[in-house]
Structure 1
Amino acid sequence: MCATNPAMNAFVAARLVEGGPAAVASTFGVRNGTRLRAICWVAANVVPVEADDAALDAFASRLRRHRRRCSSIFGDADQVLPLWDRLSRHWGTPRSLRRDQPVLAVSSPPLASGRTMDPRVRPARPDEVDLVLPASAHMFTEEIGYPPYLGSDREYRRLVASLIDRGHTYVIVEHGKVVFKADIGSLASGVAQIQGVWVAPSRRGQGIATPAMNAVVQQILDRHASMVTLYVNGFNEAARRTYAAAGFRQMGTFATVIL
């Protein structure tokens, strides 16, 4: 089901690959006879996949009781927005509703295309969790509007460490501090979806983002996937210019409801 559009469905595909058979328990499905025709990932995030109006009706009916378990609904805007229309009167006012998030993709290696790469970009090391964690938390807070943890950072540290241990966090370190970071958030079906792109405030506007992203793309294409994707808020013109300069082109639109 996810492989019908691997670039758009990388998040759910990766959760299923990582979780194995147990992950099916987090998935609703709608069948047409014996054929599965739509699914919806339901955990901390709700993500519909290949859902038409009838499937969205079915998912909404089941989801009305899951409000307190979910932090967001996201995915293909053509599915997320009508799903939210069905749920909004039951789930209340969201923290944020982001209707226009271009999904961008690149599959051409920067090295072959002559795009400039920053040679300092590298995978973070397992002993650098304490270095990466503040950058990750800063990025999350800027993007979502609230911090990723209150009180103990143990669970968030575990998530950061897991990405690093898998070689999925890329950094530039200057004078003992992370000044650029990007993560592979989802990896499945030959697609790597980047998340958590961040440049330290002190280094913004100095031209490091594009060559750093080129280096990340090259290393991902060399080691992990044949396509690199990400999604960005439509209003974030600076980020969109950076990604365009790094060879990314729009191939769809996401929407996110932050709860």
Structure 2
Amino acid sequence: MVYALARDMPVTVQQLAPRDIEALRALLARDPAHNLYLLGLLEEFGLPPTEDRGSFSYWGRFDGKTLTAALFVGGDGGLLVPSANDGQATGVIADALADRVRLKAAVGEKPAVDALVRSLCSGKPKLSRTYRLFSVSADDLGPFTNPLLRLAREEDLPRLLPLAAGAVKDIHARDPLAEDSRFEARVAQRVRAQRTYVLEENGELVFKVDIGSRSQYGAELEGLYTVPAHRRKGHAILCLGQISRFLLSSLPRLTLRVEEKDESLARIARRVGYLAGRTQRVVLMD
């Protein structure tokens, strides 16, 4: 669909097809740290054919023939993830999709998510949080390690579920075990995919961290959680240092989203070597 004119160049919004995968990858790779989540989704799932009415799609803004912005659409708006760019570019895509997409959840750079909310939300978000995106490379790492951090196993699931639920409660102030019938299945899937690491102490799991997204460009960590009775013992800083050192032996960078008001986690991230980047926003609707 032709949406506007800019410098005599047509601006169009189109659903991206497999033929656009290299253009999309090149767009995202211009700012890999702020596009790691999308780069991971792209590497894991690719681009579906435009005639495929499956569980996700990508939409792009083209200035002439050049892709200048992109938006991942999970389902009919269950999760929206914009590429890292200014809000105006994302707003063009959002306006074009206003009749077919209703935002249920979104995550990404704050100006881009703000544009999505303006165009695709009919009411006030149930939850809206701002985060700072921290990133680190191998050269920035401090000396913090804990070799006892290990991959979670399926037999850990009964002990792991309370930690996974606790992480969601801390972030979103809701109980996923009571509200989300698929939560346990998703926790189990991450364990099977070898994306969850845990620290065990005297037979008890006291810390967990997940790899939320991974590609050749890096990985995004999420869901850091220490059991309340075991906080202030250094577990978070040592385990964050451990998994960062391990992953950076084969990846160029890691990112971690830290809520703006979470000074404790921000201090831990900085001590490990993470540097603060631009502001992100997470939105959930009813």
TM-score range, shorter chain: 0.7 to 0.9
Q: Does 1:7 align with 2:33?
A: yes
Match among 147, 151, 157 for residue 129 of structure 1: 157
Aligned to 2:148: 120
CA distance in 2, matches of 1:152, 1:249: 34
**Pair 1:79 & 2:105 matched:** no
**Does the aligned pair in 1 maintain the 2:40–2:215 contact within 8 Å?**
yes
Matching of residue 174 in structure 1 with residue 201 in structure 2? yes
CA–CA distance in structure 2, aligned partners of residues 188 and 246 of structure 1: 22
**Per the alignment, do residues 102 and 55 of structure 1 end up closer, same or farther by CA in structure 2, a change over 3 Å counting?**
closer
1:46 aligns with 2:80: yes
Name the residue aligned to 1:20.
46
Q: Of 236, 240, 245, which residue of structure 2 is paired with 1:218?
A: 245
Q: 1:231 and 1:151 mapped to 2: Cα distance?
A: 24
Q: Alpha carbons of 1:117 and 1:50: their partners in 2 closer, same or farther (altered >3 Å)?
A: closer
> For the Cα contact (< 8 Å) 2:59–2:70, is it kept in 1?
yes
Q: For residues 228-254 of structure 1, what are the alpha-carbon distances to aligned partners after superposition, in whole Å with 9 as ceiling and x for unaligned? A: 111111111111111111111012221
Q: Which moved more, 1:113-122 or 1:225-234?
A: 113-122
Task: State the shift of 1:18 in Å.
Answer: 1.4
CA distance in 2, matches of 1:122, 1:230: 19
Deviates more, 1:119-128 or 1:229-238: 119-128
SS for the counterpart of 2:232 is coil
Q: Does 1:144 align with 2:175?
A: no
Aligned partners of 2:196, 2:189: CA distance in 1, in Å? Answer: 9
> What is aligned with 2:253?
227
**TM-score by structure 1 length?**
0.87
Counterparts of 1:78-97 in structure 2 under 5 Å?
78-87=111-120, 90-97=121-128
Distance in 2, Cα, partners of 1:252 & 1:205 = 28
- Higher helix content, 1 or 2: 1
Per-residue deviation at 1:34?
A: 2.0
Deviation at 1:156, TM superposition (A): 2.1
CA separation of 1:54 and 1:160: change in aligned 2, threshold 3 A: closer
Check conservation: 1:109, 1:221, Cα contact below 8 A: no
- Out of 265, 269, 272, the residue aligned to residue 246 of structure 1 is 272
Q: For the aligned residues, what is the CA RMSD? A: 2.3
Closer, same or farther in 2 for the Cα pair 1:233/1:37, shift >3 Å? Answer: same
Q: Are residues 65 and 50 of structure 1, via their aligned partners in 2, closer, same or farther at CA, if it must alter by over 3 Å? A: same
**Distance in 1 (alpha carbons) for counterparts of 2:173 and 2:197:** 23
Q: Which residue in 1 is equivalent to 2:262?
A: 236
Q: 1:39·1:51 contact (CA, 8 Å) conserved in 2?
A: no
Residue in 2 aligned with 1:104?
134
State the Cα distance separating 1:191 from its structure 2 match: 1.0
User: Deviations for 1:18-46, whole angstroms, at most 9, x for unmatched residues?
Assistant: 11233875211111222222111111211
1:83-126 deviation digits (Å, cap 9, x = unpaired): 32334xx4201122223x1110111268xx55121221111123
Structure 1: gaps (5+ residues):
none
Identity of aligned residues (%): 26
Of residues 222, 225, 234, the one that matches 1:195 is: 222
> In 2, are the aligned partners of 1:6 and 1:189 still within 8 Å (CA)?
no
Alignment length, in residue pairs? 250
Aligned equivalents of 1:231 and 1:152: distance in 2?
23
Q: Which has the higher contact order (CA 8 A, sep 6+)?
A: 1
Tell me if structure 1 keeps the 8 A contact 2:208–2:226.
Answer: yes
- Cα distance change on mapping 1:152 and 1:72 into 2, 3 Å: closer
User: d(CA) in 2 for partners of 1:137 and 1:193?
Assistant: 19
Query: For structure 2, which runs of at least 5 residues remain unmatched after alignment?
Result: 1-26, 51-55
Does structure 2 retain, via aligned residues, the 8 Å contact 1:57–1:86? no
How far did residue 143 of structure 1 move? Answer: 0.9
Counterpart of 1:15, as a letter, is L
The separation in 1 between residues aligned to 2:49 and 2:266, in whole angstroms, is 34
